[in-house]
Amino acid sequence: MNLEDMKIIVTGGASGLGRCFTQELAKAGASVMAADVDAEKLAELEEVTEGNVETFVADVSNEAQVIAMVEATVAAFGEVNGLVNNAGIFRDALLVKKDRETGALRKMTLGEWQKVIDVDLTGPFLCTREVAAKMIEADTPGVIVSISSVSRHGNPGQSNYSAAKAGLVADTKLWAEELARYGIRTGAVAPGFTRTPILDGMPPRAREKIEKSVPLGRMGEPFEIWQAVRFIIECDYFTGRCVDVDGGVKV
């Protein structure tokens, strides 16, 4: 697909990777609906981004808000033919941890598990379902890109996040099979350690440890993840697969 023909939603579009995707898409001529829970950051994004960018405040784990977001996109652009499932959160905790001094057990709570699943897996399900329905209804071909993670292979302290990101890759494959008949392609991108506000806030020693674990010796940049997203959008023979952009980190 040509980027200038895209009428596309980017969830989690106000900061980090989502902000990069939104700005690069708009720069390339796409019409972009940036959705996020942070209204202030969305307003700031709209002010500084060149191109056709609209914004919508939505929690992707809320079905009614997702439906409203998609309806607003169609109202603004006339149609929707693209989606980047980028919104995601962390609630890291070990499954069970024993305090070395007191012997007390600390367990990952159901709330910590469920909130990540709701945003990182149920959110993409809801967004993909609603966008795909609009495409099929309008007989419009399109593409859906979901942001997974190298953590989908399993990362200590991330039972919830790893499960969500692994599930997202599995869904990408099966959605490709279900939606191909309608001219809808899917793809996933699995970033490794990428320089975003979350990692920028880490202590220097922790960042150095991460960088040493990457064969290329550094973190990725948001634009490098965008290059994979762009490839999936533009390559009409790509569907149902996950592109790893992780600097060669061992999994």
Catalytic residues: 161
What tokens does 98 get? 């024993």
Between strands 142-147 and 96-98, the pairing is: unpaired
Contact 199/219 with Cβ under 8 angstroms?
yes
Output phi, psi for 191, to 5 deg.
-70, 150
Q: Residue 139 in 3-state DSSP?
A: coil
Q: How far apart are CA 179 and CA 163, in angstroms?
A: 24
Query: Strand ranges (DSSP E) for the chain?
Result: 7-11, 31-36, 52-57, 82-85, 96-98, 105-107, 142-147, 184-191, 241-245
